Chain A
Amino acid sequence: MSIPYLSIIIFLPLAGAIAIALLPRADPKRIKLTAAFFTLLSLVLAIALFFMFDRSLAGAQFVERVGWIPPLNAHYFLGIDGLSLPLVALTALLGFIAVLVSWKIELRVREYFVWLLVLETGILGVFCSLDLLLFFLFWEVEILPMYLLISIWGTGRKEYSAMKFVVYTLLGSALMLAGILLLYFHAGTFDMVELAQLGLGPALGSLLATAIFFLLFFGYAVKLPLFPLHTWLPDAHTDAPTAVSVILAGIMLKMGGYGMIRICIAIFPQIARTYAPLIIVLALVSILYGAAVTFRQRDLKRLIAYSSISHMGYVVLGLFALSQVSISGATLQMVSHGLIIGLLFALAGLLYDKVHERDITRLGGLARQMPIMVVVFSVAGLAALGLPGTSGFAAEFLVFLGSFRSTMVAGIQIYTVIGVLGLVLTAGYILWMLQRVFYGPPKADYEGAADAGKLETFYALVMVALIMLIGIYPRILTDVINMGVLPILAPFG
């Protein structure tokens, strides 16, 4: 038997969590080092996987499949293809960085890292599962740690935000579960690869297939989040501790986009096509409305959170434009946004630690005190507004290019141009934010505020390097992603 790489990557963080829970002495330093060790190991393996991945194969690789619940025909079935590999790598990276971001945590350190690591295992599992029941199980794993992390280590109205997150997610999960079960009762399998090949849409009759499609879609639309299901996001992101915001915005939102492509579109291509205009309109509302509301935010974290809604709209636009280039672009956008928003949240948290202020109207002139922060924050901001040379441009450009040329959706050119308008708004709120936070005369209140330390500079520069690498040489990911997109578009001929 070959080495079960995926299982190892997925469960390394969980192993770390167990190790931390069992550590004899609750020395914070040791706990943090243990957490860093296990997540780093997982990251190293994920990177190795990235290089071992065969870029000429379309199907799933590193497959592990063993019987799990025989009466249900459910399997412990893992595998990754071009769509999941970049997201697995992103998760492993942000998982490790989240530990570094949490280095200054002092409250209930042991529990904090236990939950953080359990969370990572759950997300990794989602991206690797090829069995729907297993997928669902992993999907649910994140709820408890997330609830606790926000409500205990958060700030502001943390209980409210945590509860709101849970209510939304559970509502989405409940509908998704209903969809999964309906699917199972009619197809007799949880095997996602098989389900995608069955051509279920026509077989089930349009009403039932549509119902299942939207039950599943709802769960992902909550997570992504798509307008009008987005209001949990600003609360949760704002009140969560920094590292959790990084994970939440950086990877968990991508579970929504991933679910849409991997399950909704792959299993019900025809229905996806039928309802694409409706979904794309919601995506455009997310892009423009999200950007408009972002303009109004005074809280730095909340501003970044709202910008996420706008940027995830591009993912949905690209996915449901249903062309090879647009879906590749959308997947690239998930990775790119994960890096950019992860970095932005990490920096916003860091900024708060240094000056104890998140109200943009009261900040200002920090560029002088924080020469490193201003550079990194600017790069992340410029990437968010889609500056060429950064991943943001490569991804959004591919989304637009692919969408505009798509032949699958009527009127897509007009939708795409409306989407491009979002770039102007993004430039507006990002630059306005940078101006109000960093520029202007230095303020006496923040006299002597420290800049980013060595550790922070290290992980920030790593992320900057990746953002620029993908921006300058997007093939490093698109060649992989493309292999994952091909089978999904096969039903369209």
Chain B
Amino acid sequence: MPEVALAIFLLPIFSFVVISLIIRPFLNKRPQLSWYVTIASIGASLILSLWMLVEVIKAPGHVLPMPDYQWLVIGDTSIHLGVMADSLAAVMLIVVTVVSLVVQIYSRGYMHGDPGYCRYFAFMSLFTGSMLGLVLADNLLFLFVFWELVGLCSYLLIGFWFHRPEAARAATKAFIVTRIGDFGFLAAILFLYAKTGTFDIGELQHLALVGAIGGTALTWAAIGIFSGAVGKSAQFPLHTWLPDAMEGPTPVSALIHAATMVAAGVFLVARLFPMIASSYEAIMTVAIIGGFTAIFAATMGMVMNDFKRILAYSTISQLGYMMLGLGVVGVGVARGAVALEVGLALGVAVGIFHLFNHAFFKALLFFGAGSASHATGTFDIREMGGLRKAMPWTFATFLIGSLSIVGIWPLAGFWGKEQILSQAWHYAPILFYLAMITVFMTAFYMFRLLFLAFGGEYRGGAHVSLRESPAVMIVPMVLLAILSVVSGWLPISEFLGGESHSFFGALASPMAWASLLLAALGILLAYAIYSKKWISAESMRRRFAPLYTIVSRKYWFDELYENVFVVRILVDGIFALFHWFDDHIVDGMVNGIAGGTIAAGREIRRLQTGQLQAYGLAIFIGILAIIAFFMIFG
């Protein structure tokens, strides 16, 4: 039976192959087929994932034995590939397959009539399959392979409408920024292999826990791996690609932001948590980067005017929470404040539980964005307004998603966030306060978005007749709205080895009330400014003009990276210098030396224009003469 686990990720990859080799070239007249194939394969993966979840729950220690295949043998180097079926993988499989399936259903409506219909579903299949492979991989090499394929699919899907220059640029940017992180990841993989002779994740964790790898070496390896996660999960300072990634079709954004790509970074930290948490410096870095990214991204989310861009910053911020959750528990473990076994499971549970809940409400919010722009033809919230009346379903579901992400009891977002906050309170008080402020900011920007887009009166062009999206889009939204309410009630945290929570008991803690209060204040402020207009947004903007400029220009990171670093320092700086050096020094020197020869060549050519064969013959005779010389005198 274990081989069935392979089918979970192979089926969607097979769907990609079928669509690109059979349907697209030969059955292009019936593009709908590609949708059916995609749905069937991902649906089957979902069923198998559920089966595996049940098996893992039943298995002792929540781990299933899985097969292992030899991929490459050179001398004493033998590389095995295999899958790992434990509680972490089982939970992730559910997230990925459920969200992906819902996204594919929604895509049918959203992508209807697009000339790239087949291509779209081919890439979506590959994307899902790669993410599933990543989740199942039992060793770093295999994981890295899928890690890169996930990156490739993001590239292809962000740049799906490649004729738009912004889309093409965003796609390239996403790939390259994440690859900078991957450099550290790959270096860490090589480093760990050189130290231990294995890629196997289980073995590596064991070696880290028993102290066979430790000290500075382990810290560097862990930071290298984390740098990969920073790139993929768009954490500071590699966060710049994600807001631009909204150039892709909206369902793609939903998938990227919820269950694939950015989730991969958090998953990686969770997967290697015992190893990373064995280094205090490394896990502290995770916590600090996570905590800082959470608040840093939230500030930018508060001032954006693009529907999807606001959501993108909210994703970065929420991913920061997840990293924070993993990090602070790890800090506790590294300090010895928590028992090792308990702490390791707890950290994964805290981080992944929030990832689990986030997946549903974030996909939902993006669906709302897609639905709203479907009707209005824009993503600019200044040109929306009043959608509440025309699009009741979209509004209702979006409201649920917003309340969930803000963390209102008893919606899904509340539970994961509470766990993260309470762990931060224990192990990193400064980060805890940052996270609390972030709660307020999250509430503010989400409800600013909500009031501007859905509240008030429609401000867009008169020619648009606002209409609710078709059922094929609404049904997935309702489905996700339900999950955005209830997913937090599932015993995911316990299953992963974390703490359990009781439905009403959660309200007994003062911290819950504090965070709910901050959330309420955020909502209230947004209400005051954008709905009732008690406070003028314009005057606020003027009063805080310098601050507003800094934040709305995204702290100039894009300019710093792209214009200053890439263009000025690299391409037009160092690379230009090298280019000049190559043309004038390296080549110039050679040309100088060869000048005589070239001049001679020119003379000969002048004499023998059109007689190149004869000239060539002379060379050939020369060579023969050399050989003859050796034959005689050698």
Decide: B605 and A159 in contact? CB cutoff 8 A. Answer: yes
**At the interface, yes or no: B579 with Cβ under 8 Å from chain A?**
yes
A413 CA / B193 CA spacing, docked (Å): 12
B54-62, B160-168, B340-348, B520-528 - interface stretch: B160-168
**At the interface, yes or no: B620 with Cβ under 8 Å from chain A?**
yes
Q: How far is the CB of A145 from chain B (nearest CB, A)?
A: 8
The contact of B74 among A152, A325, A440, by CB within 8 Å, is A325
**At the interface, yes or no: A404 with Cβ under 8 Å from chain B?**
yes
**Which chain A residues border B191 with CB–CB below 8 Å?**
404, 413
**At the interface, yes or no: A75 with Cβ under 8 Å from chain B?**
no
Decide: B163 and A365 in contact? CB cutoff 8 A. Answer: yes
State which residues 428-444 of A face B: CB under 8 Å: 428, 431-432, 434-435, 438-442
A12-20, A58-66, A276-284, A414-422 - interface stretch: A414-422
The contact of B612 among A152, A227, A231, A328, by CB within 8 Å, is A152
State which residues 402-417 of A face B: CB under 8 Å: 402, 404-405, 413, 416-417
The contact of B601 among A163, A324, A423, A474, by CB within 8 Å, is A163
Decide: B571 and A388 in contact? CB cutoff 8 A. Answer: no
A168 CA / B75 CA spacing, docked (Å): 38
The contact of B179 among A72, A160, A393, A423, by CB within 8 Å, is A423
Q: Which residue of A has the minimal Cβ distance to B168?
A: A439
Q: What per-residue 1/0 map shows which CB atoms of B598-631 lie under 8 Å from chain A?
A: 1001000100000011001101100100110011
**Which chain B residues border A292 with CB–CB below 8 Å?**
570, 574-575, 578-579
The contact of B148 among A167, A228, A387, by CB within 8 Å, is A387
**Which chain A residues border B190 with CB–CB below 8 Å?**
400-401, 404, 416-417, 420
**Which chain B residues border A417 with CB–CB below 8 Å?**
187, 190
**At the interface, yes or no: B175 with Cβ under 8 Å from chain A?**
yes
State which residues 144-180 of B face A: CB under 8 Å: 144-146, 148-149, 152, 155, 159, 162-165, 167-169, 171-172, 175-176, 179-180
A471 CA / B442 CA spacing, docked (Å): 45
**At the interface, yes or no: A350 with Cβ under 8 Å from chain B?**
no
Q: How far is the CB of A141 from chain B (nearest CB, A)?
A: 8
**At the interface, yes or no: B339 with Cβ under 8 Å from chain A?**
no
**Which chain B residues border A227 with CB–CB below 8 Å?**
586
Q: When A71-B634, A398-B74, A405-B194 are in contact, do A388 and B148 touch as well, CB less than 8 Å? A: yes
Q: Which residue of A has the minimal Cβ distance to B601?
A: A163
A324 CA / B575 CA spacing, docked (Å): 34
Binding site secondary structure of chain B: helix
The contact of B186 among A400, A405, A439, by CB within 8 Å, is A400
The contact of A72 among B172, B571, B630, by CB within 8 Å, is B630
Q: How far is the CB of B539 from chain A (nearest CB, A)?
A: 41
Interface size class of B (residues with CB under 8 A): 35 or more
**At the interface, yes or no: B114 with Cβ under 8 Å from chain A?**
no
Q: When A435-B168, A439-B168 are in contact, do A325 and B77 touch as well, CB less than 8 Å? A: yes
Q: Which residue of A has the minimal Cβ distance to B632?
A: A71
Q: When A389-B145, A398-B74 are in contact, do A432 and B575 touch as well, CB less than 8 Å? A: no
Q: What per-residue 1/0 map shows which CB atoms of A144-167 lie under 8 Å from chain B?
A: 100110011000000110011011
Decide: B75 and A325 in contact? CB cutoff 8 A. Answer: yes
Decide: B152 and A382 in contact? CB cutoff 8 A. Answer: yes
**At the interface, yes or no: B594 with Cβ under 8 Å from chain A?**
yes
State which residues 124-150 of A face B: CB under 8 Å: 133, 137, 140, 143-144, 147-148
**At the interface, yes or no: B587 with Cβ under 8 Å from chain A?**
yes
**Which chain B residues border A438 with CB–CB below 8 Å?**
162
**In this complex, which of B144, B594, B627, B634 has the most chain A Cβ atoms within 10 angstroms of its Cβ?**
B634
Decide: A293 and B582 in contact? CB cutoff 8 A. Answer: yes
**At the interface, yes or no: B576 with Cβ under 8 Å from chain A?**
yes
Q: When A404-B194, A439-B168, A482-B74 are in contact, do A231 and B179 touch as well, CB less than 8 Å? A: no
Decide: A424 and B162 in contact? CB cutoff 8 A. Answer: no
Decide: B571 and A296 in contact? CB cutoff 8 A. Answer: yes
**In this complex, which of A296, A368, A400, A432 has the most chain B Cβ atoms within 10 angstroms of its Cβ?**
A296
**Which chain A residues border B631 with CB–CB below 8 Å?**
69, 71-72
Decide: B165 and A441 in contact? CB cutoff 8 A. Answer: yes
Decide: B575 and A296 in contact? CB cutoff 8 A. Answer: yes
State which residues 260-317 of A face B: CB under 8 Å: 289, 292-293, 295-296
Q: Which residue of B has the minimal Cβ distance to A396?
A: B186
The contact of B587 among A72, A231, A400, by CB within 8 Å, is A231
**Which chain A residues border B144 with CB–CB below 8 Å?**
388
State which residues 326-367 of A face B: CB under 8 Å: 328, 365, 367
Q: When A147-B619, A293-B579, A417-B187 are in contact, do A427 and B149 touch as well, CB less than 8 Å? A: no
**Which chain A residues border B167 with CB–CB below 8 Å?**
439
**At the interface, yes or no: A42 with Cβ under 8 Å from chain B?**
no
A393 CA / B149 CA spacing, docked (Å): 12
Q: Which residue of B has the minimal Cβ distance to A426?
A: B179
Q: How far is the CB of B26 from chain A (nearest CB, A)?
A: 14
Q: When A111-B613, A144-B620, A148-B612 are in contact, do A423 and B576 touch as well, CB less than 8 Å? A: no
State which residues 59-95 of A face B: CB under 8 Å: 69, 71-72
Q: How far is the CB of A78 from chain B (nearest CB, A)?
A: 18
A64 CA / B631 CA spacing, docked (Å): 21
A164 CA / B167 CA spacing, docked (Å): 42
**At the interface, yes or no: B1 with Cβ under 8 Å from chain A?**
no
Q: How far is the CB of A85 from chain B (nearest CB, A)?
A: 16
A231 CA / B589 CA spacing, docked (Å): 10
**At the interface, yes or no: A475 with Cβ under 8 Å from chain B?**
yes
5 contacts between A and B (CB under 8 A): A152-B612, A232-B590, A398-B74, A417-B190, A440-B165
Chain B residues at the A interface, C-beta cutoff of 8 Å? 71-75, 77, 141, 144-146, 148-149, 152, 155, 159, 162-165, 167-169, 171-172, 175-176, 179-180, 182-183, 186-187, 190-191, 193-194, 570-571, 574-576, 578-579, 582, 586-587, 590, 594, 597-598, 601, 605, 612-613, 616-617, 619-620, 623, 626-627, 630-631, 634
The 3 closest A-B pairs by CB, nearest first: A439-B168, A388-B145, A231-B587
